[in-house]
Structure 1
Amino acid sequence: MAKGQIFTGLDVGTNTIKALVIQKNGADWEVLSYAQMPSFGLRRGAVVNVEETAKNIQLLISGLEKDCGRKINSAYVNIGGSHLYATPSDGLISVSRADHIISQEDIDRVLQATKAINIPLNEDILDVFPTEFIIDDQKGIKQPLGLVGVRLEAKVILLCYFQSYFMNLTQAVLNAKLQIDDVIPSPLAAANSVLTPQQKEIGVALVDIGAATTSLAVFEEGELIHFAVFPIGSANITNDIAIGLKTEVAIAEDIKKQHGTCILAGNDDKKNESRKKIEVFDASQSLSFTKKNLVDIIEPRVSEILDLMQKELKKIGRQEMLPGGIVLTGGGAKLPKIKELAKQQLKLTCQIGVPKNIAGLEADPALATVAGLALGVGDFDSTSRGSMMGLSFGFMKGWSSKFKRMFRVFIP
C-alpha cells in the first residue's frame, strides 16, 4: 500500500499510556500500529511527574515507529483528570451591521462574551460549547449565521482546567520530541469513536470508566449539554478487593479480571456456583473466597460510581430521560455484568461502547479514547468531520476548529 498521511492518537492515562497510528486505505481507516505500556508519573488522570511521563511516551512512540516503519512527528493528545469541569455561561451583544444580518464576527463576539466569568487565577477555559442561540428573545436557534436580529445571545458550556496540570501534560509530550496537534478531553475523544450521530441527536450519556477517574459526557440534539469528571475509577475496585481479601494490589487486579462480576445470576444452579470456593495461590500466600464474597466487595463500589452519574443526570433533568441510554466505555466497562447493573440502577438502556470504523482494531472499550483521538483528525472535509462527531455547530466546522486549535507547538 502506498504511504499516505498517518494520524496518531496518544492516550496518556493513570495506569496505561496508549498510542494508535492509523492511515486511510481507500474509504476505510486501518491500523498501522498500536502499542501500550504501563504509565508512571500520573495521579488521578493528571501528570504530576513530567520527566517520567516524557520518558514513557518517548519509549512508546519509538516502538511504534519501528513497528510501522514510519516517522511519527505529532499526535492528538487527551487531557483527563478530575481538575476538568464544566460551567454554564451566557453572553449578549448587539448585532453590528446596519442591516442587522448576523455575521461570523457577531458570533465570535458573543462567544467571547460568554468567557467573561470569574474563575481562579490558576485555572483557564479550554473550550466553549454553544448549546443555544437566542435572537431577539427567539430561543432554540442552533445556527444564527445570516439570520436577522438586533440582539444576539448565546448560552454555552465552558470547559475549564487547572493550568499546572495542562502545562505538565503538554511539556511531557514536547519533551518526548513529539509535536502536539491538539489537546482533547478524554470523554469527548471516546465519544468520537463509540457514539453515532443518531445517539447524540436523540440524547445519550457516555460514561468513561478509567483507572482513577470516571467521566460523564451527555449529548442531546447533537450538542454536548453536560460534562463531569469524578476522582473514582476501576482502580478503586481493585483496592477494595485488596483490602477485603487482605492481599496485594497486583493479585487483587488479577482476581478482578479473572473472577470479578457486578451481580450474581438469579437461577439456583448459579447461586450454588456462587458459593463454591475459589482458590488462588501465590508464592507468598493462598487465598480462598467465593464469587459472592467478591460481588459483595465489587458491587457497592460500582453502585457508588453509577450513583454519581445518576446525580449528575438529575442536575440537568435527564434522569431516566435519555432515549439513547447509557454507553459505558473505558477499561472499567469490561467488568462482567456492569451493563446489567447500570441498566438496573439508572433505569435506562445500557450498552458497552467499543471503537468503530477502524479495520484491524480490537473491539475493546479500553481503546475508545485513543481511537477517538486518531479518528477525529483524518482527511475529512470540515462538513464530514462535523457530521462524524455528531456535532451541529455550523459556524465552527470540524473537529480541529471546534477545539479552537489552542496551540500548535513544533520542536525546533
Structure 2
Amino acid sequence: MAKSRIVAGLDIGTNTIKVLVAQKKGKELEVLSYAQMPSFGLRKGAVVKVEEISKNIQLLMSDVEKDLGRKINSVFVNISGSRLYVTPSDGIISVSRANQVISQEDIDRVLQAAKAINIPANEDVLDVLPREYIIDDQKGIKQPLGLTGKRLEAKVLLLCYFQPDFINLSQAVLNSKLQIDDIITSPLAAADAVLTPQQKELGVALVDIGAATTSLAVFEEGDLIHFAVLPIGSANITNDIAIGLRTEVAIAESIKKQHGTCIFAKTGKSDKTMSLNVRSADKKDQQKDKLIASESKKIEITDKASDLSFTKKSLVDIIEPRVSEIFDLIQKELKKIGRQELLPGGIVLSGGGAKLSKIKELVKQQLKLPCSIGSPKGIVGIQDDPCLATVAGLVLAGSDIDGSDGGGILGLLRDWLKKLIRMFRVFIP
C-alpha cells in the first residue's frame, strides 16, 4: 500500500513564519512537525524583502527536514495583506448539450464568464467563489451539475489580488527551493480550520486578527458572502502600549501578552500600581522558535534593564480604544451586507490578537453577537491555539486535494493547469 502524501503548510506572516507538516493516516490527519521563527521582511502582510524572507524560509525548512529525516519539496502558502478584496460578479451562458443536461464544462464556462470584468491592470483574480447558480430563472441552486436547463447563470464573488504582492510572495518561496502547491488567502484557510459546517450554514463571521491586518470572512448557507481585510492589527495595540508607557516595542509586546486585557474588572478595591523590571529586546537575540504539539517556548528579552510603573486600568485605557476601533470597522463591514447583530453563529476569533484577555467579552458587548475563540480542528497533535488557524487551514486544504470537488482526475488536472497558467501570467510580462 502506498504511503499517504505528506502535506506542508507555510504561513508567512508579518511577525512570524510558521511551517506545519502533517500526514493523513486512515481518516485522520496527524502532525509530523511544526516550527516557527520571527519574520522581518513583510509590511502590512505583503512581502517587501524577498531575499530575507527566502533565507528565513530555508532556515525554517531545514529545521523541519532534520526533524522529519526527509526533504520537503512543496508547500501550500498563504497570501494576505490589505490589498486583497472581493467584488461581486455574475456570468450567463447557454447550456451546450442538445439534451440540455448541464456538464462540468458548462459550469467552467459560466464561471469564466463571471471573471470577465474590468479590473486594474496590476490586479488579477485569485479565485472565483460561487454564491449561487440560476437555471432558467430558478434561483438558489448550489450544485447545477447534471441538472437540466437552457440557460445557466452564476452569481459569484471574485477574490482579487495585487499582482506585485503575489509575485513577491511567489518569488520568496520559489527562491527558497520550494515548489508551490497552491496559494490560499489567510482568512479562508483559517476559516477552514476553525469553523464547522454548521456555523457556516447558520451564518458566522471569522475575524482573524494578525499583527498588521485584521481579516473578516462572513459565511451563510455554507458559502462566503463577504470578505474584507482591514489595515490594522495587534501590532497597532503593541505600538499604542509602547507610546503610552514610553517604552520599547518589544517590551510593550511582552507587557501586552502578560498583562494586557480589553476590559477593566472593577473589584471595589483600589487599582494597584504594577512595578516591572523589564529588559529591552535585541532583534539579533530573537532565535528560531520550535513547537510540536503541546510544547511552548517563552520569549526572552535581554539587554539594558529599566523600570516601568503603571496601573492595570491605565493599561486597559491604552488597549481598549484600539480593540474597539478594530471592531467598529468590523461592524461597518457587517452593516454593508445587512448582517449586524444577525449572525446566529456569531463571531469566531483567530490569529494572535484573539489571545488578548477579555477580548470575547468586549466583542459581545460591542457587536451584540455571541463570540468564541477559534482553534484548529481536524488535525491530531496540533496545539489548541488560534495563532495556528491559518497554517492548519493550509494543511487541511492540501489534505483535501484528492478529488473532493467531484471532478476526479480530470478535475484535478484542470485546476492544476489553471493555477499553472496564473503563475506564468504574473511572471511573464
RMSD: 2.2
Q: Aligned letter for 1:290?
A: T
Distance across 2 between alignment mates of 1:108 and 1:319 = 34
1:279 aligned to which of 270, 275, 295: 275
Residue 212 of structure 1: aligned partner = 212
Deviation at 1:268, TM superposition (A): 2.4
What are the within-5 Å matches in structure 2 for residues 348-367 of structure 1? 348-367=369-388
Residue 9 of structure 2: aligned partner = 9
The gaps in structure 1 that reach 5 residues or longer are 387-393
Q: Aligned letter for 1:324?
A: G
Contact 1:377 1:399 in 2 (8 A): no
Residue 144 of structure 2: aligned partner = 144
- How big is each residue's C-alpha offset from its partner over 1:4-29, in whole Å with a ceiling of 9 and x where there is no partner? 43110000000100001112233322
The 3-state SS of whatever aligns with 1:289 is: strand
Deviation at 1:249, TM superposition (A): 0.4
Residue 20 of structure 2: aligned partner = 20
Residue 67 of structure 2: aligned partner = 67
Deviation at 1:304, TM superposition (A): 0.7
Cα separation, partners in 2 of 1:3 and 1:96, compared to 1, 3 Å? closer
Deviation at 1:34, TM superposition (A): 0.6
Distance across 1 between alignment mates of 2:179 and 2:267 = 55
Deviation at 1:106, TM superposition (A): 1.7
What are the within-5 Å matches in structure 2 for residues 293-304 of structure 1? 293-304=314-325
Deviation at 1:395, TM superposition (A): 7.0
Distance across 1 between alignment mates of 2:373 and 2:412 = 24
The gaps in structure 2 that reach 5 residues or longer are 279-303, 425-429
Distance across 1 between alignment mates of 2:194 and 2:355 = 15
Distance across 1 between alignment mates of 2:414 and 2:100 = 26
Residue 42 of structure 2: aligned partner = 42
Distance across 1 between alignment mates of 2:372 and 2:417 = 32
Cα separation, partners in 2 of 1:322 and 1:303, compared to 1, 3 Å? same
Deviation at 1:91, TM superposition (A): 1.1
Residue 284 of structure 2: aligned partner = none
Cα separation, partners in 2 of 1:158 and 1:225, compared to 1, 3 Å? same
Contact 1:87 1:158 in 2 (8 A): yes
Contact 1:80 1:185 in 2 (8 A): yes
> Which stretch of structure 1 is more off in the superposition, 277-286 or 153-162?
277-286
Q: Aligned letter for 1:364?
A: D
Does the alignment pair 1:336 with 2:346?
no
What are the within-5 Å matches in structure 2 for residues 13-412 of structure 1? 13-269=13-269, 272=270, 275-282=271-278, 283-378=304-399, 381-383=402-404, 406-407=419-420
Q: TM-score with structure 2 length normalisation? A: 0.88
The 3-state SS of whatever aligns with 1:72 is: coil
Distance across 1 between alignment mates of 2:346 and 2:38 = 33
> Which stretch of structure 1 is more off in the superposition, 395-404 or 307-316?
395-404
Distance across 2 between alignment mates of 1:400 and 1:293 = 58
The 3-state SS of whatever aligns with 2:216 is: strand
Residue 390 of structure 1: aligned partner = none
Distance across 1 between alignment mates of 2:129 and 2:408 = 10
Deviation at 1:266, TM superposition (A): 4.0
The 3-state SS of whatever aligns with 2:348 is: strand
Cα separation, partners in 2 of 1:395 and 1:139, compared to 1, 3 Å? farther
Distance across 1 between alignment mates of 2:106 and 2:309 = 68
Aligned residues: 396
> Which stretch of structure 1 is more off in the superposition, 45-54 or 95-104?
95-104
> Which stretch of structure 1 is more off in the superposition, 254-263 or 4-13?
4-13
Distance across 1 between alignment mates of 2:23 and 2:5 = 6
Distance across 2 between alignment mates of 1:204 and 1:276 = 39
Q: TM-score with structure 1 length normalisation? A: 0.91
Cα separation, partners in 2 of 1:148 and 1:24, compared to 1, 3 Å? closer
